[in-house]
Each structure stands twice: as structure tokens, then as C-alpha cells.
Amino acid sequence: MPNPNRGSVGFQSNEFEPEYDRPSKSELKRQSNELQKLGEQLVEAPRDRVKRVPMPEDVRDVILETQTITNHEGRRRAMQFVGKKMRTLDEEEVAAIQRAIDSWKGASKSETAALHALERRREKLLADDKALTVLLEENPELDVQHLRTLIRNARKEVAESKPPKAYREIFQILKDLNKKKKKADADPEEEGNDDESDDA
């Protein structure tokens, strides 16, 4: 049997294979930049939202503290520190933060769409008297006289380029109706209770 050491030149064939599977410098830089951006998104977000994001307390404290800094240079340094703190997070923590931020984007998209729908409804009210009839059929609790006055005043404001006081008030009424409707849709318990009593 041949001697495995014979003719050996002092290294094994697998010695030059990389022993580690670490990311390259450019990959590390990219990850670092992504974490920095994630931190920036948190700093720009409303405080109450940031408080609900699942993350270590020390990271949250740094983000909330950074939000209060108005001095340009001070904020720049604080943002660097936010990036440093973000790099201490593990993959799961980063993923949880990313999910929270993504959910805000979805929420803000649907909020924007809802506001546009309300604006379109207001325009219909100003353009067509039938739109008021439809609105009153859907919401009989509304004050008809008050709404008619607002619509008349809003038309005048538009025609005479006056400040849009009535115009805004109509929007607010529509917005409040929308909130009530959402609340009723989310909490239909009372109807369910009625059904149960009928069955008994």
C-alpha cells in the first residue's frame, strides 16, 4: 500500500479552501446601510408608533431621544449612534422592525385612499343634490338643514374664492361618519346578541 505521506509537499488539497463563510466587505457595507436606513425610518416615524415596535429598550430609547434633537450636527451624530445601535440587533429583531414599518406603509396607503374617497364624495355633494339624498338615506341621523346650509355656503366659497370654512366642515362630517361606520363594522356584537335572543 502506498505511503500517503510520500511525495507530500506539506499541504492538503483542501487547505486553500476558505475556512469561513463570512460576508464580503461590500456585503457588510450594504447591510450596514440598510440598518442605518431602517433606523432613520424609525426616527422619522411618530413617537407613539415607535413605542409599539418590538425592539430592545436601549435601541428604542436612543431612537426616541434622537427624535427630540433639533440641532443639525447633534442630530447627525445621534443618527450615527442610531445606526450603531441598529447593528447590535439580530436578524429576528431586524425582521420584526421591518414588518412593523411595512405595516405602517400599508396602513398609510389605505388611509390615503379613504381620504381621497371622502374628497370625491364631498365634490359630489357640491355638484349634485341627489348625492345629499343618498347620504341622508344612508345616515338618517344627520341634520338635513345644517348640511344644506353647509353645501350652499361651500358652493359660494368655491365660486367667490373665499376661505373654505364650510367646505372643510363638510369633509369633517364625512370623516366622522366614516369613523362611526368603521367602528360599527369592527364591533358588531349588539346585532349578534339580538340574534341569540331570537333563537332562545
* Residue pointed to by grid coordinates 339580538: 194
Contact in structure between 154 and 126 (CB atoms under 8 Å): yes
Question: Rounded CA gap, 200 and 196, in Å?
Answer: 7
Q: Which grid coordinates belong to 49?
A: 408608533
pLDDT digits (tens, 9 = 90+) for 118-176: 889 999 999 998 999 999 999 899 999 999 999 999 999 888 988 889 999 998 999 88
Note the pLDDT of residue 70: 86
Task: Count CA within 13 A, CB hemisphere, residue 175.
Answer: 12
Note the pLDDT of residue 5: 54
pLDDT, block means (10 residues), the chain with 200 residues: 53 50 71 82 85 87 88 88 86 86 76 84 90 90 92 91 89 87 67 44
